[in-house]
Structure 1
Amino acid sequence: MQQYLDNTKYINFHDKGVADLSKNLRGSHIDDEDIAKRCFEWVRDNIRHSYDYSMNPVTCKASDVLRYGTGYCYAKSHLLVAILRACNIPAGLCYQRLSLKGDGAPFCLHGLVALYLKKHGWYRVDPRGNKIGIDAQFKVPIEQLAFTTLLKEEADLPEIWPDPHPLVVKVLETYSTYDAVYENLPDIELVYL
């Protein structure tokens, strides 16, 4: 479980801004569910999704997401994981493979967070931000994510990553504008048995 509590290059909760935010969100709460819900809702509602708001710069490190107030789903997830870890709640990154327009190719990865709650075990949340047609919520033990996988080429990938997937990092560190990221969203081919 230690790897889901570590400070890393991208999940950098030792950054003063991230540490201070975590402390404020935790407040006097001691229940991990209450703390996790507060952290999730803060990132979901206060950090703007880069594409939804046509916002630059492209962010990857948790501290940069907080500093600039924007990020793609992946980067918003990096910040949420950092805040949760600073509150001593194990957390990691997970991904869905989704159709970009909902009707087939092209496909891309979508970033989510898995967090570990003492009463429920691993639980996924989606901090990408709500808008018309998207209503991600924290309703333990029911998952209410932004997207569901409906097509056979879509999938909920089972891994929980302690650090961002290298393909995600490559895209976020290669392209400097939100629209360039959108044109080059990372994807993984599914292997069918």
Structure 2
Amino acid sequence: MEDFLRTTRYCDYGHPAIRHTAQSLRRTYGGDGHCELAAGIYDFVSENIEYQVGKWNWLASETLARRAGTCTNNANLMVSLLRACDVPAGYRIMRVRGDAYLGPVTPKRLARHIAPTSTHIYVAVHLHGRWLQCDPSNDYALSLGIQHLNPPSGLVRWNATGDAPLNIDRRHVLADTGPIADIDPLMTKRNRPLVRLGLQMSNHYIHYLRHHGSGHDTLHSLKSGFTNWLRTNYPMSYVLYMAAPYWPVRHRGHKAPLAPDTADGQTTNAASGSGAREDQYCVLPAESE
């Protein structure tokens, strides 16, 4: 269990900002045990760290300072805060069909740039003598903005008494590995060459979903609303968005093999470098980056 309490390069819970935040959360949610504290840390990350796509190789302290991050960043921050409070925590690595499990909300103009398979990182916490799973990827505002149109983005609460995964259709999960104590080998991998425009456009869309999604009753209304909003607020981005069908597709084909160590239920201490790569074009947190 010591491996799940260690600091690493990216899980840098010795950083003063992580320590200060952890101490504040301990004072607020400390109670008589770890359960209320763990649930409070989950709420803190979900309520204060906005989901975005982009680079995942940030230190936990950097994610805290930016108040935004990918699923990997958000999971790493939660693990860091838990370990800073002496709660054993680790990671789970999920491989999913990136072109199927996001739900219907993804615009077709962006969907073609989502890799067929993708990696999603979430959290494992040791409580009650067993490992529990939870996923702080969905920030609350984004879930509330779009859950009525996109089931995978439904709001998930966690009370630290059982598992609380995202609402992902399990038919689209290819492998689910963990708990893993150290994902630094994954986080040090270089980001793939990106079409910067794709990231920018995806984050514009996520912003729109978070702040305006609840005002739409249909997917057609939502996607039309985003197009009009983009045209008004970011006219150059609007022009480029309309040209999205002509952007180069930078992902690999459907038949890229999974790493050999991704059998469900496997426990290890280091993330395999093979195949552990984030999809930079996914636009919803019910996925990976």
What CA distance in whole angstroms lies between the structure 2 residues aligned with 1:71 and 1:97?
19
What CA distance in whole angstroms lies between the structure 1 residues aligned with 2:31 and 2:195?
38
Match among 160, 170, 173 for residue 189 of structure 2: 170
> What are structure 2's unaligned runs of at least 5 residues?
103-114, 203-249, 264-289
Structure 1 residue 140 displacement after superposition: 4.1
Match among 102, 114, 136 for residue 156 of structure 2: 136
- Residue 146 of structure 1 corresponds to 166
- Residue 266 of structure 2 corresponds to none
Residues 1:98 and 2:99 aligned together: no
TM-score (norm 1): 0.80
What CA distance in whole angstroms lies between the structure 2 residues aligned with 1:29 and 1:103?
38
Misfit runs of 4+, over 4 Å: 56-59, 171-178, 182-185, 190-193
Residues 1:2 and 2:2 aligned together: yes
Number of residues paired by the alignment?
185
Residues 1:32 and 2:34 aligned together: yes
> Secondary structure of 1:112's partner?
strand
Residue by residue, what CA displacement relative to the aligned partner does 1:43-88 show, whole Å, maximum 9, x if unpaired?
011101113xxxx775521000001111100011110000000110
Residue by residue, what CA displacement relative to the aligned partner does 1:90-139 show, whole Å, maximum 9, x if unpaired?
0011111112132696011111110111x251101101024123222214
Cα distance 1:168–1:189, how it changes in 2: closer, same or farther (>3 A)?
A: farther
Aligned residue type for 2:58: C
Structure 1 residue 13 displacement after superposition: 0.6
More helix by share: 2
What CA distance in whole angstroms lies between the structure 2 residues aligned with 1:174 and 1:6?
32
Paired-residue identity, %: 22
- Residue 73 of structure 2 corresponds to 75
What CA distance in whole angstroms lies between the structure 1 residues aligned with 2:91 and 2:134?
10
> What are structure 1's unaligned runs of at least 5 residues?
none
More strand by share: 1
TM-score (norm 2): 0.56
The two structures, once aligned, show a CA RMSD in angstroms of 3.3
Structure possessing the higher radius of gyration over alpha carbons? 2
